[in-house]
């Protein structure tokens, strides 16, 4: 049968993407919710036909351990809550999917991995693009060296952030656009090249609105030095607009623009355009995790990958602060 998923935190992503995707999944379904807002509990119960016994709040969350309908907990809360709700979920005996960024420090990532290991439960990160055909094609073209070795690679992801959102609050978000958007760029460079950076450098730019950007970076450029000497160029910002991944290799080029959206991606190569059918990245991602759980095989986007990326983010922030090259 299908595994039951409970979404924790019913904000924009849970309501706009994950719940609709769970109407299309084959190996899992929306079995429950955890919310601090009673009006949301009522609306979701009706919309998704949820039984009362599968609706939790943040106070009785731990008692989810007694509910056999829930196999998987999906943490979709603001970043600073990822660690706590993952650890408590694992202690309740559930498998976990946690949204990106995995947490706001490597130390938290370690606690999350340890808690899941101790409970004998799987941990996966909401890296949906590992299930998207356009990004998978970039990975194939790069890693299989279809156009030879990559000589240049760059990626950017930026949008204009509205004043007042939690993403601008360092205590909650853990950082600025690097935590939220830049993580896609560093992921993309790694799955396209099949390599992990050995060192990073970073430059930040003057803040345009000190009221809005109190303690986070507004715009950040960074470089990742790969083990073969290739330097990846990345950029993220909360006051610009960009969304791309470009690679130039010895015998050709390949790129996505937009690269990181939920749908409507466009891919082009020196050998012609990419053209893949529409699908739900999130449905594929959650089905793949349900199969990992059923088959007792590790997810292709495990907690260890989330930790690796938070470690790189910490190195980039150190490079930003010190102006120095920082080894990862």
Q: Which residues bind ligand NAD (CB under 6 A)?
A: 9-14, 36, 76-79, 99-100, 126, 128, 166, 172, 180
> From the CB of 77, what's the least distance to ligand NAD, in Å?
5
Interatomic CA distance for residues 35 and 88, integer angstroms:
15
Which one, 223 or 314, has the nearer CB to ligand NAD? 314
H helices present in 8-74, as ranges: 12-13, 19-21, 38-48
Q: Shortest Cβ contact with ligand NAD: which residue?
A: 11
Q: Which is nearest to 160 in space by CA: 230, 76, 236, 254?
A: 236
Q: Is 198 helix (H, G, I), strand (E, B) or coil?
A: coil
**How many beta carbons lie within 10 A of that of residue 289, not counting itself?**
29
Which one, 121 or 167, has the nearer CB to ligand NAD? 167
> From the CB of 165, what's the least distance to ligand NAD, in Å?
7
Sheet of 123-125: strands edge to edge?
55-56, 28-34, 3-8, 72-75, 95-98, 123-125
Which one, 176 or 326, has the nearer CB to ligand NAD? 176
| Helix/strand number for the chain, H first, E second | 11, 15
Interatomic CA distance for residues 81 and 101, integer angstroms:
11
> Do the beta carbons of residue 256 and residue 267 sit within 8 Å?
yes
Interatomic CA distance for residues 112 and 83, integer angstroms:
6
Q: Which is nearest to 55 in space by CA: 31, 76, 84, 71?
A: 31
> From the CB of 217, what's the least distance to ligand NAD, in Å?
16
Which one, 267 or 306, has the nearer CB to ligand NAD? 306
Sign (positive or negative) of CA dihedral 252, 262, 131, 104: positive
> From the CB of 9, what's the least distance to ligand NAD, in Å?
4
> From the CB of 99, what's the least distance to ligand NAD, in Å?
4
**Active-site residues: which are they?**
100, 184
> From the CB of 203, what's the least distance to ligand NAD, in Å?
24
Which one, 183 or 249, has the nearer CB to ligand NAD? 183
Q: Which is nearest to 246 in space by CA: 238, 237, 235, 257?
A: 257
Which one, 115 or 301, has the nearer CB to ligand NAD? 301
């Amino acid at each position: 049968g299908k595994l039951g998923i409970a979404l924790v935190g019913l904000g924009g992503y849970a309501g706009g993407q994950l719940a609709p995707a769970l109407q299309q999944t084959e190996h899992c379904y929306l079995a429950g919710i955890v919310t601090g807002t009673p009006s949301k509990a009522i609306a979701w119960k009706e919309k998704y036909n949820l039984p009362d016994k599968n609706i939790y709040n943040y106070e009785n969350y731990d008692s989810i351990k007694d509910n056999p309908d829930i196999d998987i907990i999906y943490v979709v809360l603001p970043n600073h809550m990822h660690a706590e709700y993952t650890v408590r979920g694992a202690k309740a005996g559930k498998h976990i999917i946690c949204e990106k960024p995995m947490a706001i420090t490597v130390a938290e990532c370690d606690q999350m991995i340890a808690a899941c290991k101790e409970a004998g439960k799987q941990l996966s990160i909401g890296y949906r693009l590992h299930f998207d055909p356009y990004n998978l094609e970039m990975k194939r073209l790069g890693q299989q060296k279809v156009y030879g070795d990559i000589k240049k690679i760059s990626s950017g992801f930026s949008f204009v952030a509205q004043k007042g959102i939690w993403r601008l609050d360092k205590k909650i978000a853990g950082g600025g656009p690097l935590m939220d958007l830049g993580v896609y760029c560093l992921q993309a460079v790694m799955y396209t090249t099949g390599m992990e950076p050995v060192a990073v450098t970073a430059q930040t730019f003057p803040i345009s609105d000190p009221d809005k950007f109190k303690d986070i970076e507004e715009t950040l450029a960074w470089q990742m030095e790969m083990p073969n000497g290739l330097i990846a160029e990345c950029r993220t910002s909360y006051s610009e607009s960009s969304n791309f991944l470009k690679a130039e290799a010895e015998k050709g080029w390949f790129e996505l623009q937009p690269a990181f959206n939920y749908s409507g991606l466009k891919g082009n190569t020196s050998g012609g355009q990419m053209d893949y059918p529409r699908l739900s990245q999130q449905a594929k991602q959650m089905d793949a995790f349900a199969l990992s759980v059923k088959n007792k095989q590790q997810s292709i986007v495990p907690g260890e990958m989330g930790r690796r990326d938070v470690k790189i983010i910490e190195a980039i922030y150190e490079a930003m602060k010190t102006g120095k090259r920082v080894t990862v």
